Structure 1
């Protein structure tokens, strides 16, 4: 059988898909390229062919691909978790001078950090989703992103060793600029990785989400160990940043391991077989039409993942980390470390794990509990939320430490659980060949939720204090 514009012969595959025998034989001897970008999914939705039968799928031996995705999840949120867990280092050590301008910056450090981190993340995630630069650029995105993150963390370690007491304001803005660079790289890394996982079964998307919360648990534990063992905040911070470099180096190596696994090769080859039967490249208008068709099918899940992270980041870490204890039997220096950062990350991680076995509600009704989570915002504002050198404008209605702790557990667990469900549901509501597009759109909405959440957090804090 001869196709137009090609001298090669094709024969029907047993599952009904057309495959190029010559190219398949050749491909088996070539290295596998990792292409998480949208340019690797160049096909109209109405032209879909069937995917290979599930019976032919090789096993994920030792769950290696699953753990690679977990490692990438850890690496994705490593910069954010490192910066927010170093709260004491930044606020008490580097910004400890009793000067009016420094005190003002210190009081809003976490809010500024959120904005300078997540807005660049959002912008780069959008660019990576909607602006593609050719198929050969795709394999380099994750590698370049991780490399940039490692270099910035090395610079951050150097800054920790330098005495900046005479230029605290300048140090503040240098820190904000490093946050911008780190999170620009994170935006590309995160978005590309979700696109990479979307062609696999949905639990591999959840593996990334699980890894992001495991990252938080890891850093929160390092934080507590540092408080106990390190003599000063500077040494604690150096421990954080060196740990981040080590984790990112592991993620760097894991990237090259993925295309060597037969499990990943199987799903990558299925997409390539469908590409062999596709027509010419889409025009810009056709690409926009494809995005519209995908979004039409997943818009509920996209809105849900946005709202999950909007609520979570409105509260955590800006508001949550500024809730003081009343009479809970724990030293002040451990209060935020244990009942903010560790508590959030542990229970969000547990929420991710539970979603592996329990998937309630389904895609149709998940918006109901997601919307109800919005009630957690006023809950935390009515706790003992305080900003240094500011007075509350809201009354304290929840003055019990135990009720506050339970509320924090609910916020964290539902954040992990519903973020996992929505991120898994989205790509599986579309045809397999555009699952990568759906995954990247979902990741874009995730980052948009984080960005709008941290900005709204500053607005809420301003309303609650004067």
Structure 2
């Protein structure tokens, strides 16, 4: 939500026009700081949730995570309502602190949900990935609509973040409605019965064999990491700074000012969602051969750098080899679709390597932690992109 609201923070709250100063330090550094503030706690708490019991049963983890997230968005809405022009520094650090807390509890929530999904048939883990992509699409559409309906950054941000609060409330309802679902109750009871049959192998408070679980699921954990490493190496940092070559309406009707929201944020989220959805019908290649298309995706990193990528305040010296807006968009579609499709497959395959239900849950949680680790590594690598395009490397 914060990444998609980039214009509100950079072009409004932290802009010289709003603050009345010539200091652009906070605006220029907003995205890098946002990246660190969001991903470091997310990585730490995802892995802690695998190895440490952070707060008792699943219900406590889910409920408290959602409550904290609502409070953070409430603070964000209040900050959007009040005049912070006289204290941009305080606004910046309050926002970053909010992002840290939001992602701490978001990491716990996400990891717990993947662990719960691991009890169900594999396609439901893919459904969780699909849900993540749908949420990204939803956030992008709400951002575009709010920006189109309200010309004021302030009003657009207020309604945008209020929408996030309503979505979290919906998560509350769906979580507490799950026990009413016969299908979910059946698999809960099935999981409990399987553990009762193995009293000698698993004790309730016994330490799971983490290394054994990790080794069995490692091929798919590696796939998950590489998929998200590649995706986040280019999206959104590089992707959102690719400019139109023609500087004309895209497809003849998309305004130039909407080029980035449409070809970057909307394209990625929609096609990643479609990729995840495809795994409901097609699950190819098999776990053994999934690594090959995963490694092939590494080519997307140089391909995006060869597009018309112009980071802020950086003089590009690397020639633009992909100088057609439609070719760039096709590459973006392929990257997005493959991200959704392959990540869903890898997340579905990871728990399958385990035969014990409790081990499947831990494998699902490890896969979620590797997902976040891949995201973090990809974002860190994306900071190298401006350096690469300043190099003269003629082909």
Q: Decide: shared fold, TM above 0.5.
A: yes
Given that residues 199 and 432 in structure 1 are in contact (C-alpha distance below 8 angstroms), is that contact kept between their aligned partners in structure 2? no
Q: Equivalent residue for 2:285?
A: 361
CA distance in 2, matches of 1:243, 1:232: 17
Q: Equivalent residue for 2:34?
A: 113
CA distance in 1, matches of 2:267, 2:171: 25
Q: Equivalent residue for 1:295?
A: 214
Query: Which of 141, 157, 165 is the equivalent residue of 2:85?
Result: 165
For residues 289-336 of structure 1, the C-alpha deviation after alignment (integer angstroms, 9 at most, x for no partner) is x11211221111000011101111111111111111122414332111
Please list every run of at least 4 consecutive aligned residues from structure 1 whose deviation after the TM superposition is greater than 6 angstroms. Answer: 98-101
CA distance in 1, matches of 2:229, 2:386: 15
Report the alpha carbon displacement of residue 423 of structure 1 after superposing the two structures with TM.
Answer: 0.5
For residues 120-161 of structure 1, the C-alpha deviation after alignment (integer angstroms, 9 at most, x for no partner) is 111000111111258x43321011101110100000000111
Report the alpha carbon displacement of residue 101 of structure 1 after superposing the two structures with TM.
Answer: 7.9
CA distance in 2, matches of 1:319, 1:95: 22
Q: Which runs of 5+ in 2 are unaligned?
A: none
Query: Which of 166, 170, 176 is the equivalent residue of 1:256?
Result: 176
CA distance in 2, matches of 1:297, 1:247: 36
CA distance in 1, matches of 2:136, 2:299: 24
Q: Equivalent residue for 1:130?
A: 51
Query: What count of residue pairs does the alignment treat as equivalent?
Result: 381
Report the alpha carbon displacement of residue 358 of structure 1 after superposing the two structures with TM.
Answer: 1.2
RMSD: 2.0
Q: Equivalent residue for 2:137?
A: 217
Q: Does 1:443 align with 2:368?
A: yes
CA distance in 2, matches of 1:398, 1:124: 40
Given that residues 311 and 373 in structure 1 are in contact (C-alpha distance below 8 angstroms), is that contact kept between their aligned partners in structure 2? yes
For residues 83-115 of structure 1, the C-alpha deviation after alignment (integer angstroms, 9 at most, x for no partner) is 111011111001211789842432342232222
Q: Equivalent residue for 1:431?
A: 355
C-alpha spacing 1:419/1:102, structure 2 compared with 1 (3 Å): farther
| 1:261-300 map, 5 Å | 261-277=181-197, 278-279=199-200, 281=203, 287=208, 290-300=209-219
Q: Which runs of 5+ in 1 are unaligned?
A: 1-81
TM-score scaled by length of structure 2? 0.91
CA distance in 2, matches of 1:337, 1:246: 23
Report the alpha carbon displacement of residue 460 of structure 1 after superposing the two structures with TM.
Answer: 2.7
Given that residues 48 and 54 in structure 2 are in contact (C-alpha distance below 8 angstroms), is that contact kept between their aligned partners in structure 1? no
Given that residues 111 and 457 in structure 1 are in contact (C-alpha distance below 8 angstroms), is that contact kept between their aligned partners in structure 2? no
C-alpha spacing 1:207/1:384, structure 2 compared with 1 (3 Å): same
Report the alpha carbon displacement of residue 266 of structure 1 after superposing the two structures with TM.
Answer: 1.4
Q: Secondary structure at the match of 1:250?
A: helix
| 1:62-461 map, 5 Å | 82-97=1-16, 102-132=23-53, 136-277=56-197, 278-279=199-200, 281=203, 287=208, 290-327=209-246, 328-329=248-249, 330-433=254-357, 434-461=359-386
For residues 357-416 of structure 1, the C-alpha deviation after alignment (integer angstroms, 9 at most, x for no partner) is 111111001111111111111111121111222212422222211111111101100000
For residues 218-251 of structure 1, the C-alpha deviation after alignment (integer angstroms, 9 at most, x for no partner) is 1111122122211211111112101100000000
Q: Secondary structure at the match of 1:165?
A: coil
CA distance in 2, matches of 1:465, 1:146: 43
Given that residues 273 and 340 in structure 2 are in contact (C-alpha distance below 8 angstroms), is that contact kept between their aligned partners in structure 1? yes
Given that residues 191 and 440 in structure 1 are in contact (C-alpha distance below 8 angstroms), is that contact kept between their aligned partners in structure 2? yes
| 1:4-23 map, 5 Å | none
CA distance in 2, matches of 1:101, 1:187: 37
C-alpha spacing 1:165/1:100, structure 2 compared with 1 (3 Å): closer
Report the alpha carbon displacement of residue 274 of structure 1 after superposing the two structures with TM.
Answer: 3.0
CA distance in 1, matches of 2:21, 2:313: 11
TM-score scaled by length of structure 1? 0.78
Given that residues 347 and 416 in structure 1 are in contact (C-alpha distance below 8 angstroms), is that contact kept between their aligned partners in structure 2? yes
C-alpha spacing 1:379/1:105, structure 2 compared with 1 (3 Å): farther
C-alpha spacing 1:445/1:401, structure 2 compared with 1 (3 Å): same
Report the alpha carbon displacement of residue 170 of structure 1 after superposing the two structures with TM.
Answer: 2.7
For residues 177-226 of structure 1, the C-alpha deviation after alignment (integer angstroms, 9 at most, x for no partner) is 11111111110000000000101001111111101110111111112212
C-alpha spacing 1:333/1:172, structure 2 compared with 1 (3 Å): farther
